[in-house]
Every structure is written in structure tokens, then in C-alpha cells.
Amino acid sequence: MLSSRLGGSLLDRLKQGIQKTRAGLVEAIEDTIHGKKQIDADLLEELEYKLIGADIGVRTATEILERIRQRVDRKLVGDAAGLRNVIREHLLEVLQGADRPMRWAGARPTVIMMVGVNGVGKTTTIGKLTALYKSEGKQVLMCAADTFRAAAIEQLEVWGQRTGTEVIRQQQGSDPSAVLFDALQAARARNVNVIIVDTAGRLHTKENLMTELEKMTRTARRVVEDAPHEVLLVMDGTTGQNGLEQARKFTESSGVTGIVLTKLDGTAKGGVIVAISRELGVPVRYVGVGEQVDDLLPFDPEKFIESLFA
């Protein structure tokens, strides 16, 4: 069931999932463009507001507009279609610039740590990711290292039952590094392909909690030499410009290797990832587009933008 839904119609589902994004951004641009033959200052201002409205950020928006202005001046762009191409080209360039393949461990297990601020959907994403890897025939183990939030462990265990996956856990309030240590040894012993580590949500401004992540990374290395192989920052698709600061701080403390952008099935555009790709060069790995277990899709910059403009 899982694999069939994840199969051939991937592009369709991605399109469907980000329909709202498309509806918002593309329609806005088309609206802006529609009925106006000339590109004038008003149109550019309107366009800027639309880009900013998608959370792309004022700097990136300004950059895109600057490009358009230059081309208009050199008479390279004169109409709406040309305008759209310039925007498309620019976004693609930014996103592709950050793209980089997932790192899988040479020897088992591959250790994936999930980090992020509170309420972004880390635990849910782990459930979905587990289902995805299992559908690819991998053996997966989950580690309940969010020992802080009330009932976080139980929430992960429900996902363990749903996906038929073992969860390594201790009591609420225990040391997350200790849970991680146990879990990695279990992963070794059971010779699984992947172990996915849930961590407590933390604001990137809490220095002591960020230090705790560093400690967990060190602990991981004591059991699995080159762990963690991937550190995925889970980010809420509705996040505004603070997302950039989030990504920056988490990258500093725990070496983020990729982003999972969640809750894209609403009206949010997730435009902040453009700024993140541009400034930090961190790629988006997956997007969450719904509440079902298979509502997690691999991110592909080209398809993402293609879906935007299809």
C-alpha cells in the first residue's frame, strides 16, 4: 500500500501537495502580470509584495527584482512570460546550488538525527520517514531521545506500532545522550540499516539546550564512528523569516545536513527555504504534505519549481 502510493505518481502527488503553494504564488504572479504589457515600477512593487508574501524574504525578493530590472533595462525581458522565466530561473539556481545527496553510512547503521524547534512535527516526520525507509526494504530502529516533553515517548511509540518498528526508550526525564547510547548499541546489535533519533524540540536561542545536542553528537560518535550521518532540521512550512536564524543556529551546534519542510498542505508557502538554501547552502530533503503516514515526499528542486509553474 505504501509503496504503490509512493510510486509512479510522485510528481502528481507533489503537485497536489503543493497545489496551495502554486495557487498562491503562481496565480499571484499571473494576476500581477495579467493585463499589463509593460513592466513598470508599480508592477515590480506589486510583484515584490507577492514574493515577500510567500515568505521568500525581503532580501531574496529584492535580488530577484534587481535581476528583472537589469534585464528590462537591457531590453532582454519585455513581457509577462519572460518575467516568469527570470523568476523561475533564479529560484531554481538558488535551490540547486544547495542540493546534495543524502549520506548513507558505509557500514551499518546510518544514524539520522532529527532536530528542530518545538511543534514543527519532528515526531510525526519520524513516523513517516520510518514508513518510507521500510517501504524501500530497509530495517529501521527508532530512538526516543525526546525525554523532556510530556508524552513525547508515547507519541513515538504509537508510530512504532503503526509502522511495526522497535522503539528504544527510557523514562521521561532521563538523559537523552544515555538513551541515544543505548539505542545505537541496539542498532549495532540488531544490524539495522537506519536508526532515526527523535530529539526534544528546542528554541535555537537556548544555549544550554543547543549544547545538549552537541553532547548527543559526541555520544553518537562513541558508538558509531562517523555518526550522525544526517542531521535533519525539521521546519514548519509556516515559519517566517526566523527560519533562517533557526537553520543557522542548528547548523552551528549540530551540523545540519538537510531540511524537512512540514505542513505544506496548508496555505503556507515555505518560501523561507529559498533564503536558507541561499545563505547556508543546506538542501531540503523532504516535504511533509499531509497527516497520513505516506504524506512525506522527497524534495527535488526542479520538480518543486516545475510544479509551481506547471
Partner 1 sequence: MFDNLSEKLQRVFKNLRGEGKLTAENMEAGLREIRVALLEADVHFKVVKQLMEGIKEKAMGQEVLTALSPSQQVIKIVHEEMIKILGAHQARLRFANEPPTVIMMVGLQGSGKTTSTGKLARYLSKNGNSPIMVSVDVYRPAARQQLAVLARDLKLPIFAGPDGENRPLELARGAKREAMQTGRDMLLIDTAGRLHIDDDLMTELAQLKEALNPTEILFVADAMTGQDAVKSVEEFHRRLGITGVILTKMDGDARGGGALSIRQVTGQPLKFVGTGEKTDAFEPFHPERVAQRILGMGDVLSFIEKVEQNIDQKQAEAMQRKLLEDEFTLEDFRDQLKQLSKLGSMESLIGMLPKTGIFKELQKAKVDEKEFGRVVAIIDSMTPGERRNHMIINGSRRRRIAKGSGTSVQRVNDLLKQYGEARKMMKSLTGGLMGLGGMMGGGKMPGGRVAAMLSKKLAGKLKMPGPPGW
Name the residues that contact partner 1, by CB under 8 A. 20, 49, 52-55, 57-58, 117-121, 148-152, 154-155, 157-159, 172, 203-208, 236, 238-243, 245-246, 263, 265-269, 271-272, 291
The answer to whether 141 and 190 have CB atoms below 8 angstroms apart is: yes
CB-based contacts of 189: which residues, under 8 Å, 6+ apart?
none
The answer to whether 54 and 271 have CB atoms below 8 angstroms apart is: yes
Instruction: Give the shortest CB-259-to-partner 1 separation in angstroms.
Output: 15
Instruction: Give the shortest CB-122-to-partner 1 separation in angstroms.
Output: 9
Based on CB atoms, which residue is closest to partner 1, 167 or 184? 167
Instruction: Give the shortest CB-270-to-partner 1 separation in angstroms.
Output: 9
Based on CB atoms, which residue is closest to partner 1, 31 or 245? 245
Instruction: Classify residue 289 by its DSSP letter.
Output: -
Based on CB atoms, which residue is closest to partner 1, 156 or 220? 156
The residue written with cell numbers 540499516 in the block is: 193
Based on CB atoms, which residue is closest to partner 1, 228 or 288? 288
Based on CB atoms, which residue is closest to partner 1, 193 or 304? 304
Read off the amino acid at residue 116: G
List residues bridging with 232 in a β-sheet. 114, 258
Instruction: Give the shortest CB-13-to-partner 1 separation in angstroms.
Output: 17
User: How far is the CA of 272 from the CAs of 51, 57, 246, 248, 261, in angstroms?
Assistant: 11, 7, 11, 13, 10
Instruction: Give the shortest CB-18-to-partner 1 separation in angstroms.
Output: 13
SS3 at position 87: helix
Instruction: Give the shortest CB-52-to-partner 1 separation in angstroms.
Output: 5
Based on CB atoms, which residue is closest to partner 1, 22 or 190? 22
Based on CB atoms, which residue is closest to partner 1, 110 or 165? 165
Dihedral angle, C-alpha 8, 11, 14, 19, nearest 10 °: -130
Instruction: Give the shortest CB-130-to-partner 1 separation in angstroms.
Output: 13
Burial of 213 (0-12, 13-18, 19+ CB in 10 A): buried
DSSP letters, 203-228, are: -TT-HHHHHHHHHHHHHHHHHSTT--
The answer to whether 227 and 216 have CB atoms below 8 angstroms apart is: no
SS3 at position 149: coil
Based on CB atoms, which residue is closest to partner 1, 243 or 283? 243
User: How far is the CA of 54 from the CAs of 20, 31, 184, 247, 271, in angstroms?
Assistant: 11, 15, 40, 18, 5
Instruction: Give the shortest CB-71-to-partner 1 separation in angstroms.
Output: 23
